[in-house]
């Protein structure tokens, strides 16, 4: 019979310090070694500290708005335009917007985006950011929202590019345009002052008092254009060129005595031609500011013609305008209570920043300032 195997012998390590360790023995000093603590380097600590400071500054404006009262403060357009209202304020303003100058701004393709509209009499220092659809509630009690510097918004560059590429007409009466010849500055009907260059286009409409347009709608009495023309001739109206349509005809009419619209309307009423209407003939003229400034006091020169000031109601001046410095945007619908999370996030970012700032100090002392052993 074979004897049972002997238990494996374990080589013990002598207790004397410095004694040699046998080849098949385990060094107890190595067994007791603990894993070194992870060290945060100078670059890592500095980077995280910088990021925490950066995000804390970025959250500063949201934190200020979150601290605003829930009830908006009533202000005027003049207060905002003159800088009496600070940024990130919760305000309510009664403003008249220039919807004809609205700019649609979309954050991505296929998105309806928002409408950015200047306020009247603000010299374009107040813009209202409104929803882009037509389903929002009407602002019957004024516009309520958050006031922010327009330059801080991501849409500022898009608005500036659009304004530079698309000159918009600003309308002014004839006497204001003539007054602006001296200094190239015109006061528009909105109250804003326009700085005009010689190359800017100027357009206006005039009414030809000696001409009119008669519209005859087809009916049982006047079945076609020939019947309409015969009825006008019988009424004593001198008919000119005709422009036929499917349901009506337009006739050009001239009158040498008196205003054509009033004279023709009187003749139609006398002949009881109730199915015909009379409209004035409007002529559109265009020129440049540089050419318009050479106009004599008797009238405005356009297209080799001199038009009397009294014949012009409003003149449209097409100017490329930039966003004035210090302009504000009122973001409608934003409320301070919507930003409740900003303060907790700011505190968390500050704690992380302080922790890594302490780690940065330790790393500098350990890796930079501590003396190194000589080689």
Do 104 and 242 have their domain in common? Answer: no
pLDDT at residue 31, as a whole number? 67
Residue 20 resides in a domain: no
Please report the pLDDT score of residue 209 as a whole number. Answer: 85
Task: Write down the pLDDT at residue 32.
Answer: 62
Determine, yes or no, domain membership for 11.
Answer: no
pTM: 0.68
Q: 83 and 53 in one domain?
A: no
Q: Are residues 230 and 138 in the same domain?
A: no
Are both 89 and 200 inside the same structural domain?
Answer: no
- Whether residues 189 and 301 fall in one domain: yes
- Among positive and negative, which fits the CA dihedral 84, 142, 73, 136? negative
Same domain, 59 and 80: no
**Does residue 192 sit in the same domain as residue 292?**
yes
What's the average pLDDT block by block, 10 residues per block, for the chain (375 residues)?
A: 53 63 72 71 92 94 94 94 93 90 80 86 89 74 92 89 87 93 91 88 90 90 89 89 88 84 90 88 91 92 88 90 89 93 94 95 86 63
Domain count, the chain: 3
181, 113 in Cβ contact below 8 A? Answer: no
Same domain, 197 and 304: yes
- Predicted pLDDT of residue 124: 86
Residue by residue, DSSP assigns 302-353 as: ETTEEE-GGGEEEEEEEE---PPTT-EEEEET--GGGGTTHHHHHHHHHHHH
DSSP 200: S
Positive or negative, the CA dihedral 227, 230, 234, 237 is positive
pLDDT of residue 5: 56
Tokens 């917007």: give the residue: 97
Q: Are residues 185 and 315 located together in one domain of the fold?
A: yes
- Could you tell me which of 268, 280, 216, 275 has the C-alpha nearest to residue 245? 216
Q: If phi over 0 gives left and psi between -120 and 50 gives alpha, with beta otherwise, what is residue 92?
A: beta
Within 10 A of 172 (CB to CB), how many other CB atoms are there?
Answer: 25
Candidates 224, 221, 227, 216; CA nearest to 251 is 216
Please tell me the predicted confidence (pLDDT) of residue 34. Answer: 66
C-alpha of 201 from chain center: 24
Q: Is residue 1 part of a domain?
A: no
Range of the domain at 351: 42-66+340-369
Cα 302 from Cα 82, distance rounded (Å): 38
Sequence-distant (≥ 6) Cβ neighbours of residue 209 within 8 angstroms: 259, 260, 261, 280
The pLDDT assigned to 90 comes to 96
């Amino acid at each position: 019979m074979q004897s049972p195997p002997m238990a494996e012998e374990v080589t013990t390590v002598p207790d004397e310090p410095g004694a040699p360790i046998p080849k098949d023995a385990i060094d107890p000093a190595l067994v007791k070694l603990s894993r070194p603590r992870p060290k945060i380097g100078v670059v890592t600590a500095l980077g995280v500290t910088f990021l925490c400071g950066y995000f804390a500054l970025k959250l500063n404006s949201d934190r200020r708005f979150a601290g605003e009262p829930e009830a908006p403060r009533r202000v005027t357009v003049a207060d905002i335009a003159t800088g009496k209202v600070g940024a990130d304020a919760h305000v309510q303003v009664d403003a008249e917007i220039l919807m004809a100058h609205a700019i649609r701004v979309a954050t991505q393709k296929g998105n309806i985006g928002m409408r950015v509209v200047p306020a009247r009499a603000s010299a374009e220092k107040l813009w209202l950011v409104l929803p882009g659809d037509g389903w929002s509630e009407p602002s019957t009690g004024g516009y309520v929202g958050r006031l922010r510097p327009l330059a801080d918004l991501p849409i500022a560059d898009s608005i500036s590019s659009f304004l530079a590429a698309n000159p918009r007409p600003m309308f002014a009466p004839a006497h204001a345009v003539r007054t602006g010849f001296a200094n190239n500055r015109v006061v528009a009907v909105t109250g804003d002052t326009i700085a005009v260059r010689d190359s800017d286009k100027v357009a206006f409409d005039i009414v030809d008092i000696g001409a009119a347009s008669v519209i005859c709608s087809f009916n049982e009495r006047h079945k076609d254009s020939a019947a309409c023309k015969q009825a006008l001739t019988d009424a004593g109206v001198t008919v000119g060129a005709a422009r036929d349509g499917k349901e009506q005809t337009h006739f050009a009419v001239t009158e040498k005595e008196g205003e054509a619209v009033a004279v023709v309307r009187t003749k139609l009423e006398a002949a009881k031609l109730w199915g015909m209407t009379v409209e004035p003939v409007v002529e559109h003229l265009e020129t440049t500011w540089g050419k318009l400034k050479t106009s004599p006091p008797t009238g405005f020169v356009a297209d080799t013609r001199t038009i009397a000031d009294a014949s012009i109601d409003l003149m449209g001046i097409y100017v490329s305008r930039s966003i004035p410095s210090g302009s504000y945007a009122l973001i409608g619908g934003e409320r301070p209570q919507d930003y409740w999370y900003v303060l907790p996030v700011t505190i968390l970012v500050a704690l992380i920043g302080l922790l890594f700032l302490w780690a940065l100090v330790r790393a500098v002392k350990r890796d930079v300032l501590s003396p190194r052993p000589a080689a």
